[in-house]
Amino acid sequence: MPVLLLGVSGGIAVYKAVELTSLLRKRGWEVRVVMTENATRFVTPLTFQTMSRHRVHLDQFALGQDWQVEHIDLVKGVDLAAVVPASANGLAKLAHGIADDLLSTTLLALRCPLLVAPAMNTAMWEHPATRANRETLLARGVQVIAPQGAGELACGDVGAGKLATVEDIAEALEAALRRGESLAGRRVLVTAGGTREPIDPVRYVGNRSSGKMGHAIAQAAQERGAEVTLVTTARLGAPAGVEVVSVATASELLSAVEQRFEAADVLVMAAAVADYRPIEAAPSKIKKTSDRLVIELVPTVDVLTRLAPRKRADQLVVGFAAETDDVLGYAAGKLARKGLDLIVANDVSRADIGFESDANAVSVLDASGVVLEVERAPKAVVAGRILDVVADRLNRP
Ligand code: CTP
């Protein structure tokens, strides 16, 4: 039986969360309800208790049945969490990690995917602060079930902000549950960031890759139930449970990936690996002694070209192609030349996406051509879409 932790925050749409609880229970979910104090002003906890057939959780400092710490105990065994309705205040607290009641504290202790279904007045929904909070949450991998586009709101205003329909929310939860298991039992090896090839002890040849895309891929793979190893040059942190292997140079990255390739079901090479490195790193800092300095570069080993030919039939190898022109043409060429199953192409000449940005827009290609186009979106969203294609391929009979 899937377990949902359902957070209910204040707003007139609380009654729809009652309906949702009832619908989900009928569809076989166990629903654990946590209400904010404001939510209890709209609907009594007894209503949720009756619908969910479980005790409703309200007070951070209530004495539980035993000695357990309630917000920590509540998240154990939970498959999915959702906040329905999510108020503007609820989104803001979540975006900033504020934990001042049972619901917000519990949400910080979560280890499972989280969906939020906002409901509020149009002006509040469109306020720059709410927008920024929404972006923050999306970037963190939280799924936002968008409110209905236009409609009459409780306050009489007409516009966006009305809670998504109960049926749509239930569907989104069921899809998220399926997605959360789509890479269960799979080992995913991801590389991220730009390599740094030393010139001397203080300088290096590098590139503009931030590692954000690769880290988002690792997180999305973990959210889909995979066992994830992230070989990275970036110091961005990774979700709990992801094994992180820190590397700096192309050669360190190669050996880290080579050691782990056989055990992996999927290799996603999001790292921007240097194609050339200084022939040797000077042992001490190079001094400014002449007008010209020539650094001789030699090619590095191409990780994909080395490993893809060793691929078993049940393994999948995914490359990235960051291009400034003829994006699809070059990407298709790399896919064929490197023997990849999929390649993710992105246009790094665009200022609004790619390097250092929190957003990206990509095309995913296989040998037959483009299989997925993702419009500009937070990297967490783009990563999720890419991994849905990967999971789909792996799970094909
Ligand atoms: N790659 C790799 N090993 C390298 C360089 C790149 O495995 N030494 C991988 C990257 O991680 C990426 C893919 O190859 O997944 C494409 O990288 P890119 O640098 O765009 O390809 P190149 O073959 O180096 O082509 P270009 O001439 O455009 O640099």
pLDDT digits (tens, 9 = 90+) for 29-57: 999 999 999 999 999 999 999 999 999 99
Query: What's the Rg (C-alpha) of the chain?
Result: 24
State pTM to two decimals: 0.88
Q: Alpha-carbon distance 118 to 144, whole Å?
A: 8
pLDDT at 67: 63
Residue 112 is a catalytic residue: no
Q: What is the mean pLDDT of the chain?
A: 94
Which residues on neighbouring strands pair with residue 298, listed in sequence order?
Answer: 277
pLDDT at 296: 97
Q: Alpha-carbon distance 377 to 384, whole Å?
A: 11
Sign of the CA dihedral running 172, 175, 179, 184: positive
CA of 242 to the centre of ligand 1 (A): 24
Q: Alpha-carbon distance 194 to 314, whole Å?
A: 28
pLDDT digits (tens, 9 = 90+) for 277-296: 999 999 999 999 888 999 99
Task: Give the nearest ligand 1 atom to 337 CA.
Answer: 23
Higher pLDDT, 63 or 106: 106
Residue in the structure block whose two tokens are 């070209």: 305
pLDDT at 63: 61
pLDDT digits (tens, 9 = 90+) for 75-119: 889 999 999 999 999 999 999 999 999 999 999 999 899 999 999
Task: Give the nearest ligand 1 atom to 320 CA.
Answer: 15
Q: Alpha-carbon distance 105 to 99, whole Å?
A: 4
pLDDT digits (tens, 9 = 90+) for 16-28: 999 999 999 999 9
pLDDT digits (tens, 9 = 90+) for 350-372: 888 877 788 999 999 999 999 99
pLDDT at 208: 92
pLDDT at 207: 95
CA of 223 to the centre of ligand 1 (A): 27
Query: One of 46, 129, 154, 155 is an active-site residue; which one?
Result: 155
